[in-house]
Chains A and B, each alone.
Chain A
């Protein structure tokens, strides 16, 4: 009764296959098996997670993964997915787990927003001929200027982070992803003049050299947090929440806590790394303020503090509280944001679309006159350069990309990260698998992605007649909604197309 027919079928074109056995040696899930006796390759659809590794590597183009076609007798209310989940829970009695962000058919507001371009009254600017500035600087701004005795301006700016373009790599911990993946992200961030984020797993000794491009994270488990760690990056991020699982902590199974990971996390090998749902020293906003100032004290007020929160119902008021608590930057994570594993019910039902959250936060901070107290980074999920441009025009200072960066490195979104057997060498610690990810190659791919996005951002800005990204920030007149209700437009603070 518990048998669930596989969703996908591995199709091997026998005429093309030359029995090179790449698929069989590459698949960590054992979906391909070579039968020595018959000299034949068999495949087991039940084991296939559709990570596309074999498909990509098969030089003969002999493989494809297709939907199996098996169908339940579903209806609108009882869909196949729902039925299967009940089977699984009836079988296991456990909490359902899923990878990546909310897949539900909620509106993706970025896709309902279009951009402006100059016509007649104002010239567009050609980024190939004119300078086009994408540099951004994040952090708090003082209220007033100061002058010295000679009347010269004094630099009274608190510590800030500078980025060559408004894109950063989002938090992904060492442990949840491999050291090679971390190295790729760090090296790409360095090459591009942006930042990557350690996530909550501490920082491997090899990674300290990338400090100038590192955001170090402090999460509820406090894994790997010590003074040198805090001092190693250019900013510190306090993780209060994550878009894919607001209100929920993290759990890295003991099987992944091996070798260097256990050292880096500062917990013994084989023990589960459990990040509690709340920070047990933060039960209220004034506690957050204390942690912010403890971290500032610990680093001599040389690093901006980022507070990362998930987009939830009351997020605008929460952000306003954070902006008054000494944080320099707020990182906002939407429910489409990725994760290695989250309880399915949480992932699919908790949190709000990040576009709406961002628009509300930017508006309330302006209404209260405290928008300059903080910068805003938005993530979850930013998929393309046009998402970046729209996010900035809605009011973001920068974005975080996680899933997009993983895809650039080879991830095919099979959503099986929690198995620890990622065939692409990303979400795994198995040496044979991690070595598949060559940092030099992945770095190049990440750099390519950001370079491509940068060109596209410049093109879009130039089209709008804007030659500095600062003039795009919060410039909502550059946006129009298509097919959105008045209420949605009001929350987004934009007009409808044609208006």
Chain B
């Protein structure tokens, strides 16, 4: 049977996220409760979480989360890691044996920093060096998959219903200032853990509900810039686009949302000259990064969370606030279970981003 990445699987999904603007940490159990409410939107073929602020004691090191098929692949990968990184700490990722989650691969975690000599030799920034190494491992090593590579954050995912995945990874034992979750409803599945979401690169993680129609246009474009889409999933290509526009091209998050969920030309024509010129520029310069078709995404990044819908709003998404916390979810019910007494709730318009940065006001649109 073909493995995920060798063909394309359409999926429907549920997403949920919560962030504390003050950076106060809370238990990952919250997000597990939230995504559990939307069990109907998943079909047991994939679930996962991203947590930010969960490794304060190692916050300056890249936390690599890795799936291994065999001990042999583990040895090969560790040999590679040894030659490129200083490994500060390594361990199995703690899991709970539960009957709902089976066939687990070997799941390991490494806290690393690039070897200074290798880094100098490469003439790259630390982040680019790390990203390239992750690509190399994922494309060249059999039976190895690095599924998380940011600092002070981590992704936890598996084949199963998301709430079971949460219990499996003992998510309630982690504390962070932001969590996102994903329940997957793929139309068919090769049952590979790496194919579950979130998808992450460095500090960026994406959970996504939808099926984008621009996929191959986006993929073929982003692959020009050193990215390799090995999974053939929307989430993967969206993550790379965000990494490319944010980290490599230096666009702001608001600008990025104007690129990937660009306003229509007819709207642009009606704008004030200065704003119009900005949008004309972004749409022309980054036309290949426009994403069409239904999507709602939550993008976790170092220092915050962004939510965005496609420009026609073809997928549901609601946002709510209570005190210093902001909640975002496919369904209101999944928010109410986290916080019954919400103060403010709204449905962002298509293409209107909601950007929450630590110690900052919530930015809408």
**Can you report 23 A-B residue pairs in the complex whose CB atoms are below 8 A from each other?**
A121-B211, A122-B212, A131-B264, A141-B285, A152-B278, A157-B284, A160-B284, A366-B220, A369-B224, A372-B288, A465-B293, A470-B287, A470-B290, A471-B291, A471-B293, A473-B217, A473-B287, A474-B221, A474-B288, A475-B215, A475-B220, A476-B220, A477-B215
Q: Is B292 among interface residues, defined by CB-CB distance under 8 A?
A: yes
Which of A118, A473, A478 neighbours the largest number of chain B CB atoms within 10 Å of its CB? A473
Q: Is B251 among interface residues, defined by CB-CB distance under 8 A?
A: yes
A53 to B195, CA, bound (A): 64
Q: Does B292 contact A122, Cβ atoms closer than 8 Å?
A: no
Q: Does A118 contact B288, Cβ atoms closer than 8 Å?
A: no
B-facing residues in A118-144 (Cβ within 8 Å): 118, 120-123, 125, 130-131, 133, 135, 137, 141-142, 144
Q: Is A38 among interface residues, defined by CB-CB distance under 8 A?
A: no
**Contacting residue for B292 out of A121, A371, A471, A477, CB 8 A:** A471
Segment of B4-12, B145-153, B324-332 in the binding face: B4-12
Q: Is B141 among interface residues, defined by CB-CB distance under 8 A?
A: no
Interface string of A139-153 (1 = CB under 8 A from B): 001101101000011
Which of B11, B216, B224, B262 neighbours the largest number of chain A CB atoms within 10 Å of its CB? B216
Q: Does B281 contact A122, Cβ atoms closer than 8 Å?
A: no
Q: Which residue on chain B has the smallest CB distance to residue A499?
A: B7
A471 to B249, CA, bound (A): 20
Q: Kindly list the 9 A-B residue pairs having the minimum CB-CB distance in the complex, ordered from nearest.
A: A471-B214, A465-B213, A121-B10, A477-B216, A475-B217, A471-B292, A122-B211, A470-B287, A475-B216
A-facing residues in B223-262 (Cβ within 8 Å): 223-225, 249-251, 255, 262
Query: With A366-B224, A471-B214 as given contacts, are A155 and B277 in contact (CB-CB < 8 Å)?
Result: yes
Q: In angstroms, how far is the closest chain B Cβ from the Cβ of A121?
A: 4
Q: Which residue on chain A has the smallest CB distance to residue B264?
A: A131
User: Which residues of B lie under 8 Å from residue A465 when comparing CB positions?
Assistant: 211, 213, 292-294
Interface string of B260-289 (1 = CB under 8 A from A): 001011100000000001100110110110
Q: In angstroms, how far is the closest chain B Cβ from the Cβ of A38?
A: 66
Q: Which residue on chain B has the smallest CB distance to residue A121?
A: B10
Chain B interface (Cβ < 8 Å from any Cβ of A): 8, 10-12, 187, 210-218, 220-221, 223-225, 249-251, 255, 262, 264-266, 277-278, 281-282, 284-285, 287-288, 290-294, 311-312, 314
A320 to B116, CA, bound (A): 38
Q: Does A131 contact B224, Cβ atoms closer than 8 Å?
A: no
Q: Does A131 contact B294, Cβ atoms closer than 8 Å?
A: no
User: Which residues of B lie under 8 Å from residue A369 when comparing CB positions?
Assistant: 224-225
Q: Does A137 contact B220, Cβ atoms closer than 8 Å?
A: no
Q: Does B11 contact A153, Cβ atoms closer than 8 Å?
A: no
Query: With A121-B11, A470-B290, A471-B290 as given contacts, are A157 and B221 in contact (CB-CB < 8 Å)?
Result: no
User: Which residues of B lie under 8 Å from residue A323 when comparing CB positions?
Assistant: none
Which of B10, B277, B287, B291 neighbours the largest number of chain A CB atoms within 10 Å of its CB? B287
A271 to B120, CA, bound (A): 69
A131 to B264, CA, bound (A): 8
Q: Does A122 contact B213, Cβ atoms closer than 8 Å?
A: yes
Interface string of A462-474 (1 = CB under 8 A from B): 0011111011111
User: Which residues of B lie under 8 Å from residue A372 when comparing CB positions?
Assistant: 224, 288
Q: In angstroms, how far is the closest chain B Cβ from the Cβ of A493?
A: 9
Q: Does A468 contact B290, Cβ atoms closer than 8 Å?
A: yes
Q: Does B294 contact A122, Cβ atoms closer than 8 Å?
A: yes
Q: Does B224 contact A133, Cβ atoms closer than 8 Å?
A: no
Q: Does A470 contact B220, Cβ atoms closer than 8 Å?
A: no
Q: Does A466 contact B8, Cβ atoms closer than 8 Å?
A: no
User: Which residues of A lie under 8 Å from residue B277 when comparing CB positions?
Assistant: 155
Q: Which residue on chain A has the smallest CB distance to residue B284?
A: A137
**Contacting residue for A155 out of B187, B250, B281, CB 8 A:** B281
**Contacting residue for B293 out of A122, A133, A152, A366, CB 8 A:** A122
Q: Does B264 contact A123, Cβ atoms closer than 8 Å?
A: no
Q: In angstroms, how far is the closest chain A Cβ from the Cβ of B273?
A: 12
A125 to B293, CA, bound (A): 9
Inter-chain pairs besides A144-B249, A477-B215, 17 sampled, C-beta below 8 Å: A118-B213, A120-B10, A121-B12, A122-B213, A130-B312, A155-B277, A157-B285, A372-B224, A467-B292, A468-B214, A468-B292, A470-B214, A471-B213, A471-B218, A474-B288, A475-B215, A477-B216
Q: Does A121 contact B266, Cβ atoms closer than 8 Å?
A: no
A468 to B10, CA, bound (A): 21
Q: Which residue on chain B has the smallest CB distance to residue A370?
A: B224
User: Which residues of A lie under 8 Å from residue B218 when comparing CB positions?
Assistant: 471
Q: Does B223 contact A366, Cβ atoms closer than 8 Å?
A: yes
A157 to B280, CA, bound (A): 11
Q: In angstroms, how far is the closest chain A Cβ from the Cβ of B261?
A: 11
Q: In angstroms, how far is the closest chain A Cβ from the Cβ of B98?
A: 30
Q: Which residue on chain B has the smallest CB distance to residue A162?
A: B284
Q: In angstroms, how far is the closest chain B Cβ from the Cβ of A129?
A: 10
Q: Does A145 contact B285, Cβ atoms closer than 8 Å?
A: yes
Q: Does A153 contact B312, Cβ atoms closer than 8 Å?
A: no
User: Which residues of B lie under 8 Å from residue A125 when comparing CB positions?
Assistant: 312
User: Which residues of A lie under 8 Å from residue B187 when comparing CB positions?
Assistant: 121
Q: Which residue on chain A has the smallest CB distance to residue B220?
A: A474
A43 to B92, CA, bound (A): 94
A418 to B6, CA, bound (A): 54
Interface string of A350-382 (1 = CB under 8 A from B): 000000000000000010010110000000000
B-facing residues in A473-487 (Cβ within 8 Å): 473-478
A466 to B212, CA, bound (A): 9
Q: Does B12 contact A477, Cβ atoms closer than 8 Å?
A: no
Q: In angstroms, how far is the closest chain A Cβ from the Cβ of B7?
A: 8
User: Which residues of B lie under 8 Å from residue A118 when comparing CB positions?
Assistant: 213
**Contacting residue for B266 out of A120, A131, A145, A474, CB 8 A:** A131
Q: Does A470 contact B217, Cβ atoms closer than 8 Å?
A: yes
User: Which residues of A lie under 8 Å from residue B220 when comparing CB positions?
Assistant: 366, 474-476
Q: In angstroms, how far is the closest chain A Cβ from the Cβ of B262?
A: 8
Q: Does A477 contact B8, Cβ atoms closer than 8 Å?
A: yes
Query: With A121-B12, A468-B292, A474-B220 as given contacts, are A145 and B250 in contact (CB-CB < 8 Å)?
Result: yes
Q: Does A133 contact B264, Cβ atoms closer than 8 Å?
A: yes
User: Which residues of A lie under 8 Å from residue B250 when comparing CB positions?
Assistant: 145, 147
User: Which residues of B lie under 8 Å from residue A157 when comparing CB positions?
Assistant: 281, 284-285
A474 to B224, CA, bound (A): 13
Q: Which residue on chain B has the smallest CB distance to residue A145?
A: B249
User: Which residues of A lie under 8 Å from residue B210 when comparing CB positions?
Assistant: 122
Interface string of A305-325 (1 = CB under 8 A from B): 000000000000000000000
Which of A137, A369, A471, A475 neighbours the largest number of chain B CB atoms within 10 Å of its CB? A471
B-facing residues in A441-499 (Cβ within 8 Å): 464-468, 470-478
User: Which residues of B lie under 8 Å from residue A130 when comparing CB positions?
Assistant: 312
Q: Does A474 contact B217, Cβ atoms closer than 8 Å?
A: yes
User: Which residues of A lie under 8 Å from residue B290 when comparing CB positions?
Assistant: 468, 470-471
A141 to B211, CA, bound (A): 28
User: Which residues of B lie under 8 Å from residue A133 when comparing CB positions?
Assistant: 264-265
